[in-house]
Chains A and B, each alone.
Chain A
Amino acid sequence: GENVEQHPSTLSVQEGDSAVIKCTYSDSASNYFPWYKQELGKRPQLIIDIRSNVGEKKDQRIAVTLNKTAKHFSLHITETQPEDSAVYFCAASMIIQGAQKLVFGQGTRLTINP
């Protein structure tokens, strides 16, 4: 079935270093790829997204790259700060049972060490 694989499941980096989270998806027809940040007990918040007609998108310290041929996309956080610590989810928009749905990756718990 349609699925999204996300790696790593946990990631620990020193403050100021970069963090990279990678996802692969199964449906080549997917055309929308959002990334969400979820803090403990709170709702997922959209932090950046990319559409299939774009290869890269950047917003300050956050960037996302998309390789449609390989069906993978990545989140890059530079100059990490303690407040970046959270769980990050990638997602891919897929047509399932005739409806457009977001399929989420398993999540990455990012810890920024001061």
Chain B
Amino acid sequence: GAVVSQHPSRVICKSGTSVKIECRSLDFQATTMFWYRQFPKQSLMLMATSNEGSKATYEQGVEKDKFLINHASLTLSTLTVTSAHPEDSSFYICSARGDSGGGAREAFFGQGTRLTVV
């Protein structure tokens, strides 16, 4: 399968600071990238969908000013958690999907980033 690299894998930050997470597709062009949040022992909750060169689409209940998403190129999307607070501590995972020209295609996941806000 295709390779998606997410960085950093772990980050600890102080409350009130911002954290940027990168998601790169290494061997394919990702027209669409998805950002998920996963709480312990729970499922993947979609936060937002980003398409290269356009604004991200956020899911209901996700604050777009707090979780800034930039999909600047076909291989890179970033998620910035602004003014992080302890309740933002979670496991964040990106996934990337190429353009099939029709029909659903599989999405490949990054390694995930465990964010701890202290």
Contact = CB atoms under 8 A, between A and B. Distances in A.
Interface of A: 31-32, 34, 36, 41-46, 49, 51, 89, 93, 97, 99-107, 109
Among A46, A97, A100, A109, chain B packs the most CB atoms within 10 A around the CB of A100
Interface in B1-59: 1, 6, 32, 34, 41-44, 46, 49, 51, 57
Interface residues on B, range: 20 to 34
Contacts of B109: 36, 43-45
Interface of B: 1, 6, 32, 34, 41-44, 46, 49, 51, 57, 93, 95, 103-112, 114
Given A42-B112, A44-B93, A99-B49, A51 B104 contact: yes
Contacts of B93: 43-44
B24 to A, nearest CB: 14
